[in-house]
Chain A
Amino acid sequence: MANRSVIPFGPQHPVLPEPIHLDLVLEDEKVVEAIPTIGFIHRGFEKLVEKMDFNELVYVADRICGICAFIHSMAYCQGVEAVMRVEVPPRAVYLRTIWSELARLSSHLLWLGLMADAFGFESLFMQCFRLREGIVDMLEEMTGGRIILGVCRVGGVRRDVEDGALASIVTKVRAMEKDMRQVADVFLNDDSVKHRLVGVGILTKAQAHELGCVGPMLRASGVSRDTRTLGYAAYGAVDFAPVVKTDGDSYARCAVRIAELFQSVDIIRQIVGKMPAGEVGVKVSGYPDGEYHSRCEQPRGEVIHYVKGDGTRYLRRYRVRTPTFANIPALVKMLQGCDLADVPVLVLTIDPCISCTER
Chain B
Amino acid sequence: MSVFAMARITLRNLFARPATRLYPSRIKEPHHAAQSRGRIEIDIEACIFCGACVKRCPTDAIIVTKADKEWNIDRLRCCTCNACVEVCPKKCLSMANRYTAPTVTKDKDIFRQKPRAPKEVVS
A168: Cβ under 8 A from any B Cβ: no
Task: Determine the residue in chain A with the shortest Cβ distance to B33.
Answer: A141
Closest A residue to B3 by beta carbon equals A191
Tell which of A56, A123, A144, A158 touches B36, judged by Cβ atoms closer than 8 Å: A144
B37 in the interface, Cβ–Cβ < 8 Å? yes
Contact A189 B32 (CB under 8 A): no
Q: How far is the CA of A194 from the CA of B1 in the complex (A)?
A: 14
Interface residues on A, range: 20 to 34
Determine if B32 and A56 form an interchain contact, defined as CB atoms under 8 angstroms apart.
Answer: no
Tell me, yes or no, whether A124 is within 8 Å of chain B by CB.
Answer: yes
B-binding segment of A20-28, A178-186, A313-321, A350-358: A178-186
Of B6-14, B42-50, B64-72, the one with at least 4 CB within 8 A of chain A = B6-14
| C-alpha spacing A121/B33, complex, angstroms | 33
Residues of A within 8 A of B10 (CB): 123
Establish whether residues A140 and B33, one from each chain, have CB atoms under 8 Å apart when the complex forms: yes
Q: A56-B58, A59-B79, A130-B19 are in contact. Are A186 and B6 (CB under 8 A)?
A: yes
Give the contacts of A229-266 with B (CB-CB under 8 A).
none
Chain B nearest Cβ from A73, distance in angstroms: 11
Q: Is the CB of B35 within 8 A of A144?
A: yes
Shortest Cβ distance from residue B21 to the other chain A in the assembled complex, whole angstroms: 12
Confirm or deny: B88 has a beta carbon within 8 angstroms of a beta carbon on chain A. no
Q: Which of B9, B37, B83 meets A145, CB within 8 Å?
A: B37
The B contact surface, by secondary structure, is loop
A190 CB-CB contact with B under 8 Å: yes
Interface residues on B, range: 20 to 34
By a CB distance below 8 angstroms, the chain A residues around B95 are 144
Least CB separation from A137: chain B residue: B32
Decide if A59 touches B58 in the complex (CB within 8 Å).
yes
Q: Is B81 an interface residue (CB 8 A)?
A: yes
Q: Is A86 an interface residue (CB 8 A)?
A: no
- A-side contacts of B8, CB under 8 Å: 182
Q: Which residue of B9, B79, B82, B83 contacts A127 across the interface (Cβ within 8 Å)?
A: B9
Q: How far is the CA of A317 from the CA of B95 in the complex (A)?
A: 33
A123 to B9, CA, bound (A): 10
CB A337 to nearest CB in B, in angstroms, measures 28
Cα A141 to Cα B36 with chains together (Å):
7
Inter-chain CA distance A122–B7, complex, in Å, is 14
Interface residues of A in 156-170 (CB under 8 A from B): 158-159
Find chain A residues with CB under 8 A from B19 CB.
Answer: 130
Find chain B residues with CB under 8 A from A59 CB. 58, 79, 81, 83
Q: Is B5 an interface residue (CB 8 A)?
A: yes
In the bound complex, what is the Cα–Cα distance between A103 and B19 (angstroms)? Answer: 22
Contacts of A63 in B (CB 8 A): 79
B58 to chain A, nearest CB (A): 4
CB distance from B62 to the nearest CB of A (A): 14
Q: Which residues of B contact A (CB under 8 A)?
A: 2-3, 5-6, 8-10, 19, 32-33, 35-37, 58, 79-83, 86, 95
Residues of A bordering B, CB below 8 Å:
52, 56, 59-60, 63, 121, 123-124, 127, 130, 137, 140-141, 144-145, 148, 150, 158-159, 182-183, 185-186, 189-192, 194
The 8 closest A-B pairs by CB, nearest first: A144-B37, A56-B58, A190-B5, A141-B33, A189-B2, A186-B5, A144-B35, A59-B58
Known: A59-B58, A59-B79, A186-B6. 18 other contacts (CB 8 A): A59-B81, A59-B83, A60-B58, A63-B79, A121-B6, A124-B6, A140-B33, A141-B33, A144-B33, A145-B37, A150-B37, A150-B80, A150-B81, A158-B86, A186-B5, A189-B5, A190-B3, A191-B3
